Every structure is written in C-alpha cells, then in structure tokens.
Amino acid sequence: MADTDRNALKPATTFTRARNSAAVVDFDDGVDFAAASRGLIAQHPTGRIERVGRPVWDTAHHDFLRTDDPAPDTVHPGLWRQGRLNAVHGLFEVADGVWQARGYDISNITFIAADNGWLIIDPLTSEETARACLELANHTLGERPVTSVIYTHSHLDHFGGMLGVTTREAVDAGDVRVIAPEGFMHEAVGENVLAGPIMGRRALYQFGPLLAFGPQGQVDAGLGKTTPIGTSGLVAPTETIRQTGDELDVDGIRIVFQNTPDAEAPSEMNFFFPDKRLLCMAENCTHTLHNLYPIRGAQVRDALAWSKYIHEALGMWGDRTDTMFASHHWPRFGGDDVAAFLTLQRDVYRWMHDQTLRLANGGSTPDEIAAELSQLPDCFAKQSHVQGYYGTVSHNVRSVYNRYLGWYDGNPANLHPHPPVDAAKRYVDMMGGPTGVMRGAQTAFDDGDYRWVVEVLKHLIFSDPEHREARSLSADAMEQLGYQSESATWRNAYLMGAHELRNGSIQLGFGRPSPVAAGMTGEQLIDMMGTRFNPARCELDTLSVAFTVTDLDAETEPLTHRLTVENQTIHHDTENTDADVAVTLSRATMIEVIAASDGLDAQIEGGSITVDGGDVDILRALLGALDIFGPVNLVEP
C-alpha cells in the first residue's frame, strides 16, 4: 500500500456502521430544536469573523450540519444531533431586555439592557468574536455603551474576549464594573499558565480545531462547535462576590449571587435576577453531561459539591424562575421545565459520585468501575442534556476515583511501572516481536476490536515510532473509534491521534505564556519560573534575584519579589529583598524574558530592564536555566 493510500481518511467499517445504527437516540427533538431557535432576531451578516484577513470563526465550516439529513455512518447519531443543535447561530431574545449571541464562539455572550448601557455576561474567548457579537447587538437593538461585565467563572472562554467589548482604560477609570466570583484571578491565571504548555497541546486533541470540518472530521465540541483562533486577554475584576447570598444593584438591575467553587470551575458562580424571574446557571448546567475532568487536563472537579450547588440553587430560586440560561447552549423556558432540568442535572453528578465510591469501597479499580457504570440508568436515558457529548460517564467516574484515591489502584504491580518506551520494548519482545504484534493487531482489527488494536499497537509505536504499518493500522483503528464516539471530545482526540499517526505529530511550540499572564501576581510569575527551571542547566548552586515589578497592584502586594535558588529549587519571598542582583522591569517585560532569555541584553540596552545593583551575570545564569517548551508528542515518543 502506498503511503498516500495509507494516510487517506477511511470510511466507516461494517462494525462501526452496525454500532452507530444500533445507538438509541430517542429524545424530544421538537422541544430542543424549538428552544435552540426560539427568539432568533438577527444573525451575523456573513458568519465569518476575521483578524487581519484570516478567519477567527466561520459558521460555514459547519454548514454540513444545517440539513435534515440523518447521521452519516461516520458520526454517532447522538453527536450528530448535538452538532445540529450547536450549529444554530444568531442573536436571540431570552427574556424581556435580555439577549444572547450564540454560535460565534464555543461559549455564549449575554446582553442585558441596564439603565445606562449594556450589562454583559461572559465576553467569550476572543476579542474578535466578542467585538463582532457586540456590534451585532448594537446594530440590531440600538447602540448602548458597555457599563458592566460579569465573569461567571475562571475559564478562558468566559473572559478572554473582554477587550473586544471594552478597554482597560475604561475599567481603570471606573466607567465599567467587572464582577467575578471569589478566587477568580488566582484560578484564571493558575490553570492557564503553570500547566499551560501541555494543556494547550492536549486541547488540540479535545476540541479538534485543526481537523478538517466534516462528517469524517471535526463535527462539534459538545459545548459548542469548536474554539476560535483569535486574540485573548485578561482584565482583572473590580468587584468580587465573596459568598452566597451577596446581592448587587448593577446599573439598575438587581442580582443575587451563589458562589459555587470547585464545581465546573475552581471559581464560579450562579446568579438570579429576582425582578426578571431569570436564573443564570453559568456552566454548572448545560445541555450535555459535563466533565469532572477534561481530557485536555485540569484539576479534578468535585462531583458531590457540584450536585449540592444545583440542589441549593433549586431551593433558593427554583419556584421563582421562569427562564434559565447558561454560558453554553440554549435556555430553558417555563418554571416546570427549568425545575425538571435542574433536578436531572443535579442527580447525574450525584449518581456518578456515589456509585463510583460504592464500587471503589467494594474493591473495584477505576477501569472496572468505568466498565460497570458505562451506561446511564434508564431514569437519565430519555433526556439529551445528561448524555455524554462532552464529558463521559467513563472518564468522569475515573475522575471521582482519582479525586478521593489518586492514580494508584492499590495493586503493587502498578506501583512502579516502567516508563512508556522501556515498557513498550519489553511488551513487543514478549509478544513475539513486531511481526507477532502486527499479526495480533490485524486480527483484532478484522474482528472490530479497535480498542485492543490501539492498546497493543501503542507499544510497537513507542518501541519503533517509524514502523509505518503499525502507525497506519493504529490510525485506522483510532479513526473508527472516533466515528463511534458519542462524546465530541473523544471523537476529536481519536481523529487527531489518527491524523498525527498518519502525517506526523503537529510541531507547534507552546512555550510562550498564555495571554492571561498579564494578570499574574509577583508570586505567580516566580511560580511560573519554577515550572521551567532546569537545575542541570544552572551554572550556580545558589543564587538570588530581586525583581521589582513596576505595574503590579501595589494595594494587594509588594512590588519587589525575591527569587532564590537552593537545593535545585526555586523559592519566593517578599520579606527579605536582599539579593545577588536586583532589577526593575514591567510585568510584560518579565514575562518576555522568562519566555525567551536571549532577549535580556536587548531589554537592558533598551531601558526596559534596569539593573539596580549586583552582578547581572547571575540573572543570566537563572534565565539560561529556564526550559523553553517545544513540540510535545502524544501518540508517539
């Protein structure tokens, strides 16, 4: 077989066709599709949002879903249905004086007409998409200034587009209030910076933005279509919601808040508009089973707390709510429908939590629990909003186990395994060498056991990454697993894996800090250096550097932060600022030299860095020991 044939996309096999045709998708389409389209008053004139001539977002990528055609063989019918619902886009009236733009980013942006301008909830992922949605609202509804913004939680797709709807100057001048839950800045920065490089690489697998769009490629992301390829930033909040029950008047609109830390995000809040009988559930309730652990990587979420927060919201506002909306998907309309929706959402997270621990306490391992709980009970089967289009029961129950018991399953055989490449060579040798592995893998493929194919061939690929036949057969198996996946994130991951096995790993560097680094504290800047510090590259056993960062928030922290290296470890303090070398610089300059130490001399010569005393070679030694993260392989060593 020629390489060009080996690398081509394949059709669904008979096993995949049979599996997808047997999937039961028995939901009330009239209710969901009517709700997803209800209140549509305008659409973006082209559906294409650009930055310097290149598309950041293009609704035309998913035109293949805007038909009444049944699901093709290469897409799970439940995911096809979810993809069609998420393909609905436009500006929608949600309630009196409340509108949402949906389908122009993975998340929603909500506009509320306040006394003196717009109150915006969640300004999307990118400046470009947020700006386009604000322009759509102003053009359709009449132009209003933005006077206040609420961030529901600390994930990038709910604050990254802030500078598309306002400016830092307007916020600093007090013209725009920015309201967020307690812990927002710490969590927004921490998740996107300290583990940012590898998380960014893995996000390409979760969301699939580099896959071709279509029935054999990227169909959806579960929460929305995909992620925009635009410009993101972070503007710090001006007000913090400290506790459940806090109430604010925001430009004439009364809002009561509920803090929900460690549910869908480490910092998150729901809130209620009592005068509008309107409830916002942030991202704690969406039209899909959510992740207790996203496969891009993140802190494991607390399923028990998540369920209890929804229960609390039901008790506080359930009998006073006429309309509920969220940060993704479409609203729920009518008090009875809202209550039923919240009840099932509450119960699915509690069910996963309790049943996982019941089985764990009985001695079951994570893989055994995932197998036993692979199907939701019948009480959840008739409602699409608890199906696994984003999270899955399989990886969620593993996450519950991990939150309580960690990665170790109790079997000492799993306590100290060989690393992947070393283990792979041993597996391949024990299985009779490459020929024996390929023979067994081909038999498994011919039998439709694609999970076993990829399990076996990962060892051959890690022992010999140039083995073309192994890469090709593993890619073919991953592709079929993708076609069979109800979860968009699983589908995208399998198809990305197949693509990289066929064409080589995508060589993208993720070494530069996330855009949210602009909001980092002095301690977080030094923590970031710690995650890059490679002791083997440091010429000195001990050193200390005092950084005076001129544009930190002097009301909340000192401007001078000392970094010390001792015992191959970086430490931070602000009490003792005596150091081997002292420098003054801005936060942006510090981020730049952390990312690329070769710019140090130019920064000093240009005046961006002032050496206040000591030996600058010590700073060079520190910066020279910081790793620059390059390409990361996932499906090959």
Q: What is the mean pLDDT of residues 291-316?
A: 96
CB hemisphere CA count around 155 (13 angstroms): 26
Give residue 5's pLDDT: 74
Give residue 371's pLDDT: 97
Minimal CA–CA distance to 237: which of 165, 159, 305?
A: 159
Q: What is the mean pLDDT of residues 311-326?
A: 98
Q: What is the mean pLDDT of residues 18-35?
A: 90
Res. 511: pLDDT tops 70: no
How many Å apart are CA 299 and CA 297, to the nearest integer?
Answer: 7
Spatial contact of 196 and 510, defined as CB atoms under 8 Å apart: yes
Res. 2: pLDDT tops 60: no
| pLDDT, the chain, mean | 95
Read off the amino acid at residue 557.
Answer: E
Q: Which helix (H) or strand (E) holds 43?
A: none
How many Å apart are CA 277 and CA 281, to the nearest integer?
Answer: 13
Res. 514: pLDDT tops 90: no
Give residue 27's pLDDT: 87
Higher pLDDT: 636 or 508? It is: 636
Domains of the chain, each with CATH number or no CATH = 24-304+323-332 (3.60.15.30), 417-484 (1.25.40.880), 520-624 (3.30.1050.10)
Burial class (CB in 10 A: 0-12, 13-18, 19+), 267: buried
Q: What is the mean pLDDT of residues 313-342?
A: 97
Rounded percentage of the chain residues whose pLDDT exceeds 70:
98
How many Å apart are CA 393 and CA 353, to the nearest integer?
Answer: 10
Res. 259: pLDDT tops 80: yes
Q: Whole-angstrom distance between the N-terminal and C-terminal Cα of the chain?
A: 25
Q: What is the mean pLDDT of residues 526-546?
A: 95
Q: List, edge to edge, every strand of the sheet that includes 332-333.
A: 247-250, 253-259, 269-273, 278-280, 323-325, 332-333
6 Cβ neighbours under 8 A, 6+ residues apart: 468, 472, 502
For 72-120, the pLDDT digits (tens) are 999 999 999 999 999 999 999 999 999 999 999 999 999 999 999 999 9
Give residue 190's pLDDT: 78
For 466-485, the pLDDT digits (tens) are 999 999 999 999 999 999 99
DSSP assignment of 554-610 equals TTTS-SEEEEEEETTEEEEESS----SEEEEE-HHHHHHHHH-GGGHHHHHHTTSSE
Give residue 543's pLDDT: 97
Give residue 507's pLDDT: 73
Give residue 315's pLDDT: 97
Q: Which of 26-30, 55-59, 350-354, 381-385 has the lowest mean pLDDT?
A: 26-30
Give residue 30's pLDDT: 81
Res. 518: pLDDT tops 80: no
pLDDT band at 358 (very low <50, low <70, confident <90, very high): very high
Q: What is the mean pLDDT of residues 187-211?
A: 87
Here the tokens at position 124 are 């999307």
Helix (H, G, I), strand (E, B) or coil at 485: coil
Q: What is the mean pLDDT of residues 498-511?
A: 83
Minimal CA–CA distance to 464: which of 495, 435, 498, 496?
A: 435
Higher pLDDT: 616 or 511? It is: 616
Q: What is the mean pLDDT of residues 520-547?
A: 94
pLDDT band at 509 (very low <50, low <70, confident <90, very high): low
What's the count of helices (H) and strands (E) in the chain, helices before strands? 22, 21
Give residue 181's pLDDT: 98
Q: What is the mean pLDDT of residues 578-591?
A: 94
Give residue 599's pLDDT: 85
pLDDT band at 1 (very low <50, low <70, confident <90, very high): very low
Res. 403: pLDDT tops 60: yes
CB hemisphere CA count around 456 (13 angstroms): 25
Q: What is the mean pLDDT of residues 421-429?
A: 96
The reported pTM is 0.95
Give residue 419's pLDDT: 96
How many Å apart are CA 483 and CA 11, to the nearest integer?
Answer: 9
Higher pLDDT: 61 or 7? It is: 61
Q: What is the mean pLDDT of residues 338-357?
A: 98
pLDDT band at 352 (very low <50, low <70, confident <90, very high): very high
| Cβ count within 10 A of residue 408 | 10
Res. 591: pLDDT tops 50: yes
Minimal CA–CA distance to 545: which of 512, 513, 593, 507?
A: 593
Q: What is the mean pLDDT of residues 328-354?
A: 98
Spatial contact of 580 and 614, defined as CB atoms under 8 Å apart: yes
